[in-house]
Amino acid sequence: MQGEAFWVAEPGRGELRTAEVPEPGPGEVLVRTLHSGVSRGTETLVFRGGVPASQHDVMRAPFQEGDFPGPVKYGYLNVGVVERGPAHLTGRTVFCLYPHQTRYVVPADAVTVVPDDVPAARAVLAGTVETGLNALWDAAPLIGDKISVVGAGMVGASVAAILSRFPGARVQLVDADPGRAGLAAALGVEFALPADATGDCDLVIHASATSAGLTRSLELLATEGTVVELSWYGDREVSVPLGEFFHSRRLVVKSSQVGGIAPARRGRRTYADRLATALGLLADPAFDALLTGESAFAELPAIMPKLTSGELPALCHLITYGKDGE
Cβ count within 10 A of residue 263? 9
Q: Which of 205, 239, 255 is the last residue of a domain?
A: 255
The CATH number assigned to the domain holding 32 equals 3.90.180.10
The strand pairing partners of 297, in sequence order, are: none
Same domain, 158 and 215: yes
User: What DSSP character marks residue 209?
Assistant: -
Pick the closest to residue 278 from 91, 82, 132, 163 (CA basis).
132
Same domain, 46 and 148: no
Query: What value does the mean pLDDT take over residues 79-83?
Result: 98
pLDDT at 241: 84
pLDDT of residue 253 exceeding 90? yes
pLDDT at 302: 98
Same domain, 215 and 289: no
What is the span of the domain harbouring residue 147? 132-255
pLDDT of residue 325 exceeding 60? no
The whole-chain average pLDDT of the chain stands at 95
The more confidently predicted of residues 106 and 55 is 106
pLDDT of residue 45 exceeding 70? yes
Residue 315 to residue 313: CA distance in whole angstroms: 7
Residue type, 12: G
DSSP-assigned letters across all residues of 235-261? T-------STHHHHTT-EEEE--TTS-
Rounded to the nearest 10 degrees, what angle do helices 126-139 and 271-281 cross at?
110
Query: What value does the mean pLDDT take over residues 277-303?
Result: 97
Confidence band, pLDDT 50/70/90 cuts, at residue 264: confident
Domains held by the chain: number: 2
User: What DSSP character marks residue 62?
Assistant: T
| Helix, strand or coil, per DSSP, at residue 136 | helix
Rounded to the nearest 10 degrees, what angle do helices 126-139 and 154-163 cross at?
60
Instruction: Give a yes or no: residue 305 inside a domain.
Output: yes
User: What DSSP character marks residue 41?
Assistant: T
Same domain, 97 and 197: no
Instruction: Give a yes or no: residue 184 inside a domain.
Output: yes
The strand pairing partners of 252, in sequence order, are: 226
Quick: pLDDT tens for 7-26: 999 999 999 999 999 999 99
Same domain, 114 and 162: no
Query: What value does the mean pLDDT take over residues 271-286?
Result: 96
Instruction: Give a yes or no: residue 274 inside a domain.
Output: no
- Rounded to a whole number, what is the distance in angstroms from the first to the last CA of the chain? 13
pLDDT of residue 301 exceeding 70? yes
pLDDT of residue 276 exceeding 80? yes
Query: What value does the mean pLDDT take over residues 294-323?
Result: 94
The strand pairing partners of 72, in sequence order, are: 8, 66
pLDDT at 232: 78
Which range among 115-119, 180-184, 228-232, 288-292 shows the weakest confidence by mean pLDDT?
228-232
Phi and psi at residue 278, to the nearest 5°: -60, -45
Confidence band, pLDDT 50/70/90 cuts, at residue 305: very high
Instruction: Give a yes or no: residue 22 inside a domain.
Output: yes
The CATH number assigned to the domain holding 229 equals 3.40.50.720
Query: What value does the mean pLDDT take over residues 210-236?
Result: 92
Tell me the whole-structure pTM to 2 decimals: 0.91
Cβ count within 10 A of residue 194? 17
Pick the closest to residue 107 from 31, 20, 18 (CA basis).
31
Residue 297 to residue 128: CA distance in whole angstroms: 20
pLDDT at 190: 98
Confidence band, pLDDT 50/70/90 cuts, at residue 324: low
pLDDT of residue 36 exceeding 60? yes
Residue 198 to residue 286: CA distance in whole angstroms: 24
User: What DSSP character marks residue 97?
Assistant: -
Instruction: Give a yes or no: residue 178 inside a domain.
Output: yes
| Helix, strand or coil, per DSSP, at residue 212 | helix
Confidence band, pLDDT 50/70/90 cuts, at residue 237: confident
pLDDT at 41: 78
pLDDT at 183: 97
Tell how strand 201-206 and strand 190-192 pair up.
Answer: unpaired
Phi and psi at residue 210, to the nearest 5°: -135, 150
Query: What value does the mean pLDDT take over residues 168-182?
Result: 97
DSSP-assigned letters across all residues of 172-206? EEE-S-GGGHHHHHHHT-EEE-GGG----EEEEEE
The listed range with the strongest mean pLDDT (3-17, 244-258, 311-325) is 3-17
pLDDT at 235: 72
